[in-house]
Structure 1
């Protein structure tokens, strides 16, 4: 086992020296197999989990829709026993690296997709934006955040690409509910939902195996993006996120092996949850202090992320804006900040008196 401690972060234990190679699997618990898929981003991988399911198998998350991922899937399936069918596809949430290949695998192998209702419906709605013009409400949202005309034009040109990153979902699905118990290979897995990173994210916890498949809800080395989006501009996802961290701590014991969507499998769930919550509260406190002088959403990146973020990196700039607004909305909802909008439609935030 290896462990890590830097910048006050808790020691986490990593029981595996390295992830599985391309096109191969690694058993991490009885009947639970680790698959790693490539991503064409700075975060260059996602972890998927194949579960023995009696004489068949089930899958948790699917990878991004692109030719590289499809190629790896073809390699894996070519080496898989033909008599073992894919029985169920569990999707933790609707972000493309998790749900992207679900429709392709479902149609190819005949497996039903299982998702929470909000994740499934939100995915269908976002995919329906393909080919549409960027709506006026979205343009006003980013103008309010302080985006330049060039950034808004770039957003307008990129709008509606979500559907290109996923294969179309089936028109029917099986619903995952919070607290639902699923029997897989003779073991009970309980659904533990969370909010903030996505609408109704599903983790899967098996008490017998002492395993938590955490998706993006708990990651060992990075924190999940928590963003406000134009569809719900006054939402408070940061409060939802913090409540979800506390919920997982209550409902899942510390002795589990955590199987995250990114980075490596680890022990130390409660320490990681505590660190994520405390570091977020520290960031919110620092943000409140900077609001002694009025700030726009685009002015708080250095405070929150430790560095400026240039609009030339539009994907990162967009996520930073969403998370910046999430933090500002949290303070507004808590009565710790106030928001005013100027004649140009730009929002300014200041600390409450």
Structure 2
């Protein structure tokens, strides 16, 4: 589906505090701060939900993230609009990033209420490109990307057959948008929210922090019980998203208070942001340490799954296999970018990685 569907590495959440005893039932909402509502929409995957938020905005609501575009999505939004949102208008729609479970219904809501869609520029343009994949054949650059990672021919054929299907889970975006930028300040209703951009999980992921409420809408950038999927994708095979993500986490620890209430896209709202960041950073660096040992001999990307991920990563579970490939390459590219490792292609175009002598 997308890189939000299931994050590969489960991460311990010890030491965090979860202030709410329940999660919102279907069609209902929980007020987590004055004028901030927590709602939940289903996902057809092992990670079975996405959290969406409503911020009081004058006589209406600003919506942050929107869930997937699926056959039952309009009726689910209809129940929320008629129920906890009190039949008030939607003033604007914010999408933290382009993944389908976040931006899937953004265009539908924006068109229904004739309101603006707010995204960062990179996320809006990436989402437009993603939607355009419908009906296309898998590009040769992508085929080459997965062949270099060590995929077998039948797995590549699965990729060919599935290419573009996930794009159907995003309703067409409006043809214009309002741009969010890092450190920008937004007035939403009576309160002021600061945009903080996080890198690594997606190109230009927007988080929203309200100093008055001490609330951070973290999207997928910081999650309490699972780690964000940080992957290399065929469109930018030499990217270093792991380096970007770790640097972003460090910046969040410096700019958002430790006692903020964090509203993540998956799992439950929590306190303990700085501790969570420390744990995520430490887990990533442990993975890098294990990988350095593993690369004493040449390895392909598909050879290091057991080093980085708990549990088997099998080709039969195609979505998980794809996510694992992207994350493995993120770790490998980190070592390449730091000058610690080298890569060399064999006669079949497969890349083999090893630590420098």
- TM-score of the superposed pair, with normalisation by structure 2: 0.95
Is 2:99 aligned against 1:130? no
- For residue 184 of structure 2, the aligned residue among 169, 180, 183 is 180
- Confirm or deny: 8 A CA contact 1:219 1:263 kept in the other structure: yes
* Mapped partners of 2:266, 2:307: distance in 1: 25
* Mapped partners of 2:79, 2:295: distance in 1: 53
- Confirm or deny: 8 A CA contact 2:50 2:101 kept in the other structure: yes
Look up the match of 2:98: 94
* Mapped partners of 2:63, 2:126: distance in 1: 21
Aligned-pair Cα RMSD in Å: 1.3
- For residue 151 of structure 2, the aligned residue among 144, 147, 152 is 147
Look up the match of 1:347: 351
Structure 2: runs of 5 or more not aligned: 1-9
Residue 184 of structure 1 deviates from its aligned partner by 1.3
- TM-score of the superposed pair, with normalisation by structure 1: 0.96
Q: Which structure 2 residues correspond to residues 310-321 of structure 1 after superposition, within 5 A?
A: 310-321=314-325
Residue 127 of structure 1 deviates from its aligned partner by 1.2
Look up the match of 1:22: 26
* Mapped partners of 1:171, 1:111: distance in 2: 12
Look up the match of 1:3: none
For residues 302-339 of structure 1, the C-alpha deviation after alignment (integer angstroms, 9 at most, x for no partner) is 11002331111111100100010110010111111110
Higher relative contact order (CA 8 A, sep 6+): 2
The total of aligned residue pairs comes to 347
- For residue 103 of structure 1, the aligned residue among 103, 107, 120 is 107
Q: Which structure 2 residues correspond to residues 47-66 of structure 1 after superposition, within 5 A?
A: 47-66=51-70
For residues 117-145 of structure 1, the C-alpha deviation after alignment (integer angstroms, 9 at most, x for no partner) is 00000111121121111111111110010
- 3-state SS of the aligned residue for 1:340? strand
- Confirm or deny: 8 A CA contact 1:193 1:201 kept in the other structure: yes
* Mapped partners of 1:339, 1:195: distance in 2: 25
Structure 1: runs of 5 or more not aligned: 1-5
Look up the match of 2:5: none
- Confirm or deny: 8 A CA contact 2:13 2:224 kept in the other structure: no
For residues 199-244 of structure 1, the C-alpha deviation after alignment (integer angstroms, 9 at most, x for no partner) is 0000000000010000000000000111111111111111001111
Residue 300 of structure 1 deviates from its aligned partner by 0.6
* Mapped partners of 2:335, 2:190: distance in 1: 46
Deviation >3 Å, runs of 4+: 6-10
- 3-state SS of the aligned residue for 2:72? helix
Is 2:81 aligned against 1:81? no
